[in-house]
Structure 1
Amino acid sequence: MKAMTMIQTEMTPEDIAKLPYRRNVGVMLVNADGHAFVGQRADRQPHEPPAWQMPQGGIDKGEDPRAAALRELTEETGVTPDLVTVEAETEGWIAYDLPHDIVPRIWKGRYKGQEQKWFLLRFHGTDDQIRLDADEHQEFTEWRWLPADEVVAQIVPFKRPVYEQVIAAFRGRL
Structure 2
Amino acid sequence: MTSAEVVNRLAGRVLLVNGEGRVLLFRGCDPLSPADKYWFTPGGGFDEGEDARAAALRELFEETGLILSAGELAGPVFEEVAEFDFDGRAYRQRHWFFLARVESWEVDTAGFEPIERTTMDEHRWWSPAELEETAEVIYPPELSRILREVL
TM-score, with structure 1 as normaliser = 0.67
In the other structure, the counterpart of 1:38 is 25
Larger Rg: 1
User: Matched residue of 2:73: which SS?
Assistant: strand
What do residues 76-108 of structure 1 show as CA deviations (whole Å, max 9, x unaligned)?
A: 1111116x93133136x411222xxx37813xx
| Conservation of the 8 A alpha-carbon contact between 1:26 and 1:116 | yes
User: Matched residue of 1:37: which SS?
Assistant: strand
The runs of at least 4 aligned residues of structure 1 exceeding 6 Å deviation read none
Q: Take 1:70 and 1:119, find their aligned partners in 2: how far apart are those partners?
A: 9
Give, in angstroms, the shift of residue 67 of structure 1.
1.1
Aligned residue type for 2:105: D
For residue 127 of structure 1, the aligned residue among 105, 112, 135 is 105
Q: How does 1:148-163 map to 2 (within 5 A)?
A: 148-151=128-131, 153=134, 154-155=136-137, 159=139, 162-163=140-141
What do residues 5-52 of structure 1 show as CA deviations (whole Å, max 9, x unaligned)?
A: xxxxxxx3xx14884631111111100111110112276568514322
Aligned residue type for 1:172: E
Q: Take 1:47 and 1:72, find their aligned partners in 2: how far apart are those partners?
A: 23
Deviates more, 1:138-147 or 1:52-61: 138-147
Q: Take 2:41 and 2:127, find their aligned partners in 1: how far apart are those partners?
A: 13
Query: Which 5+ residue runs of structure 2 have no aligned equivalent?
Result: none
TM-score, with structure 2 as normaliser = 0.75
| Conservation of the 8 A alpha-carbon contact between 2:65 and 2:108 | yes
| Conservation of the 8 A alpha-carbon contact between 2:30 and 2:87 | no
In the other structure, the counterpart of 1:117 is 96
Q: How does 1:51-130 map to 2 (within 5 A)?
A: 51-81=38-68, 85-90=72-77, 93-98=79-84, 102=85, 105-106=88-89, 109=90, 111=91, 113-124=92-103, 126-128=104-106, 130=107
Q: Take 2:7 and 2:20, find their aligned partners in 1: how far apart are those partners?
A: 38
Give, in angstroms, the shift of residue 59 of structure 1.
0.7
Cα distance, 1:114–1:54 mapped onto 2, change above 3 Å: same
Aligned residue type for 1:116: H
State the identity %: 28
The structure with the greater share of residues assigned to strand is: 2
Query: Which 5+ residue runs of structure 1 have no aligned equivalent?
Result: 1-11
> Between Structure 1 and Structure 2, how many residues are aligned?
145
